Amino acid sequence: MDPLAKDLLAWYDADARVLPWRSEPSPYRTWLSEVMLQQTQVDTVIPYFERFLKRFPAVEDLAVAPLDEVLEMWSGLGYYSRARNLHKAAGIVSEKGTFPFDIKGLRSLPGVGEYMAAAIASIAYGQDEATVDGNIARVMARVHADRGPRKGMWTHARQHLPPGRAGDYNQALMDLGARICRPRSPKCPKCPVSSHCEARALGVVDEIPAPKVRKAAPVSQLEAHVFERNGLYLLARRPVEGLWGGLWEFPTIGSAGKHWAKDERRRKWDAAYGVPHQAGPVLFETRHVLSHRIFQYALQRSTGEAPIALGEYTEMRWVQMDPKPSIGLSALTSKGLHALCSQ
């Protein structure tokens, strides 16, 4: 066996993290966990994973569930296109009667890319496939003192792959990246592969990988209005494609990455909803940060008429309001709703 893989697996066998998707691995469980873990921390994912499996024990259960229910179950995890792709892919798998067995077939499912296909193939099917996510890329870059692009990390990861234990090898590298070889202050003295690590030998661990130069994220203003009628509140549904797709929110206008020009919000509201813009007191304000965008959100009680046009929404509905409504809301709208209900 490759010497690095041998030391890594000895550490993993003795000290692997106990995670719910690691018991009884199956294509469905592995796929679900990998989709949830994209851009999301393990501790956040665990309760979502357990709730999902309880409600949708098999891929067929997920396939026949209404998208609204899936989005509601996803509420708070963010990156809702993942939930929409999950639902779409469940329909495809359920119709075929089985999960694809090879990388090409797995990659044909909506939302499944190169990393995830190889993760499912190795973990659920025991195929000898290496994979590379952010954690594994960082470990490989340091082990090989390689300052090059991500593509080269696939070559390094394949080079150490121990035939017959690819699933454990991939998960061990993910664990190593998350617990030991962290982006900042890696715990090299505790690292099971430190004797194979070129970056450590050369004293350049802190330089690899090179820090990303991030562009400042644009700030958008979002103004949402609360309309109340006979104890019901007006919610609007976003188009299925795009940010917060298919989720419900208070009717809102946005400034698309800019500050409002004079009178622009009034013009925008009137054009979108066919009624005059009449904003009352601000009920809730917050700054909401996504990976590439920042939103300055203000929820205001409207003193005007309810919209008579849909704007960019697909539907509007008067609903009974409670802090945990049974429809999918974005985390931002949930915060506004919570503030509204606690007044």
Which positions touch ligand SF4 (CB under 6 A)? Answer: 139, 142-143, 180-181, 186, 188, 191, 193-194, 197, 199-200, 205
- Specify the residue, 9 or 329, whose C-beta has the smaller distance to ligand SF4: 9
Residue 50 phi, psi dihedral angles, 5° rounding: -65, -40
CB of 19 to ligand SF4, least distance (A): 21
Shortest distance in whole angstroms from residue 41 CB to ligand SF4: 19
Identify which of residues 96 and 190 has a Cβ nearer to ligand SF4 in the complex: 190
- Are 231 and 320 spatial neighbours (Cβ–Cβ below 8 Å)? yes
Query: At closest approach, how far in Å is the CB of 118 from ligand SF4?
Result: 21
Angle, in degrees to the nearest 10, between helices 42-55 and 67-74: 150
CB of 182 to ligand SF4, least distance (A): 8
**Residue pair 159/141 in contact by the 8 Å Cβ criterion:** no
Task: Give dist(CA 295, CA 288) in Å, integer.
Answer: 5
Which of 148, 79, 93, 96 has the alpha carbon at shortest distance from 290? Answer: 79
Instruction: Tell me whether residue 112 or residue 193 sits nearer to ligand SF4 (CB atom).
Output: 193
On whether the CB atoms of residues 287 and 296 are closer than 8 A, the answer is yes
Instruction: List the structure tokens of 87.
Output: 């639902």
Is 228 catalytic? The answer is no
Degrees to nearest 5, angle at CA 82 with 80 and 85: 115
Q: Given the complex with ligand SF4, which of 62 and 199 has the nearer CB atom?
A: 199
C-beta of residue 99 within 8 angstroms of C-beta of residue 93? yes
**Residues annotated as catalytic (active site), given as ranges:** 34
